[in-house]
Each structure stands twice: as structure tokens, then as C-alpha cells.
Amino acid sequence: FGQMQTPEALYQEAEYPGGKEALQNYFNRHLRYPTAAIDKEVVGRFTATFRVAPTGEVYEIKVLNCFDESIIKATQKAIRSMPKWLPAFSGEEPVESDVTLIFQFELHDAL
């Protein structure tokens, strides 16, 4: 008899190289509060979604629940500039996957 695996054991999520802490460090270095948003005192929480290809490349970047164009563009640029991700796997096969990240912009972060 073979060993039975659950569907969860067969699927591994896409991951930023180095894990969650490395991803946080990346955004701390590459995502700056846009001056235009600071001047308008734009604050809030928003979501970014994107797809990770089986090759690890990021595409179809969308910024949701954000109405400030400067923040949208800065977020898209930071995501587009990321190094390749480790793709999701279904069994031993790399597969396309969706990633959702939540961001918070506060004025004290800009100072």
C-alpha cells in the first residue's frame, strides 16, 4: 500500500524568497510613501493582488480599495520590481497562484 496524502499536503503556496520577514524588509526598502499622498494626507489600508507564474514571475498586479493614484503607482512599481518568487507547487509541479497583500499607510510612517 502507498502512503496517502491529503490535498493540503500536495499544495504549497508561492513564497517570497526568504519568507515573510524578507518580504516585509523588501517593502520597507522599496515602497515609499509618495509625497503627493503625504501632501493630501492620504492614509488607510488597501490590498494588492497579483499572480505568480510557475516560473516565479509576478504579473496582473492590482491595487484594490485605494483611491490615490500616487500610492497605486508606487505599490505597483514596488511589486513589479520584486525578485522572482518561489512558485506554488501542486505535488511536484510548479503552478500559477494568486497572492494577496495588505498594506497600511499612516502619516507617521512618512516622517
- Predicted pLDDT at 20: 96
The torsion angles phi and psi of 84, rounded to 5 degrees, stand at: -55, 145
- Predicted pLDDT at 9: 58
Residue 89 in any domain: the answer is yes
Using DSSP, state whether 29 is helix, strand or coil: helix
- Predicted pLDDT at 92: 92
CATH number (domain holding residue 21): 3.30.2420.10
Residue 6 in any domain: the answer is no
pLDDT digits 0-9 by tens, 66-80: 989 999 999 999 999
DSSP annotation of 86 reads B
pLDDT at position 106 over 60: yes
Residue 56 in any domain: the answer is yes
The torsion angles phi and psi of 18, rounded to 5 degrees, stand at: 95, -10
| Residue-number span of the structural domain to which 45 is assigned | 12-110
How many domains does the structure of the chain reveal?
Answer: 1
- Predicted pLDDT at 105: 86
Mean pLDDT across the chain: 90
Residue 7 in any domain: the answer is no
